[in-house]
Amino acid sequence: GENVEQHPSTLSVQEGDSAVIKCTYSDSASNYFPWYKQELGKGPQLIIDIRSNVGEKKDQRIAVTLNKTAKHFSLHITETQPEDSAVYFCAASHGSGNTGKLIFGQGTTLQVKP
């Protein structure tokens, strides 16, 4: 079955620096790759997603890149702020028209130091 590996497990950056989180997936049929942010005591919330027909997607300070050949995708956060501190999860799925089952990575705890 699908397996998603996420690195690093923890990441500490200074406010204003960039943060990069990387994920690899095993199932070449996966075509939908969301990123979720989970704040303490809350459920995960989607921050950005990308489909396999797109190589990069940007939304203000957040961007995601996808390399289908290598089966990896990354989350980039620029100009980090203390409110970016949270746990981030990548996931992979077969997307629309299917069950939408998500396979999650293990999570990255991001700490942004003021």
Contact partners, residue 99, CB within 8 Å, separation at least 6: none
- Least distance (Å) between residue 76 CB and another protein: 20
DSSP state of 93: B
Task: Tell me whether residue 80 or residue 108 sits nearer to another protein (CB atom).
Answer: 108
Task: Tell me whether residue 15 or residue 46 sits nearer to another protein (CB atom).
Answer: 46
- Least distance (Å) between residue 47 CB and another protein: 10
DSSP 73-85: EEEEE-S--GGG-
- Least distance (Å) between residue 109 CB and another protein: 9
- Least distance (Å) between residue 34 CB and another protein: 7
Instruction: Report yes or no: 64 and 57 within 8 Å, Cβ to Cβ.
Output: yes
Residue numbers of the site for another protein (CB under 8 A)?
1, 4, 6, 9, 32, 34, 36, 41-46, 49, 89, 93, 95-96, 99-107
Task: Tell me whether residue 68 or residue 104 sits nearer to another protein (CB atom).
Answer: 104
Instruction: Report yes or no: 3 and 26 within 8 Å, Cβ to Cβ.
Output: yes
Contact partners, residue 38, CB within 8 Å, separation at least 6: 44, 45, 86, 87, 88, 89, 107
Task: Tell me whether residue 97 or residue 114 sits nearer to another protein (CB atom).
Answer: 97
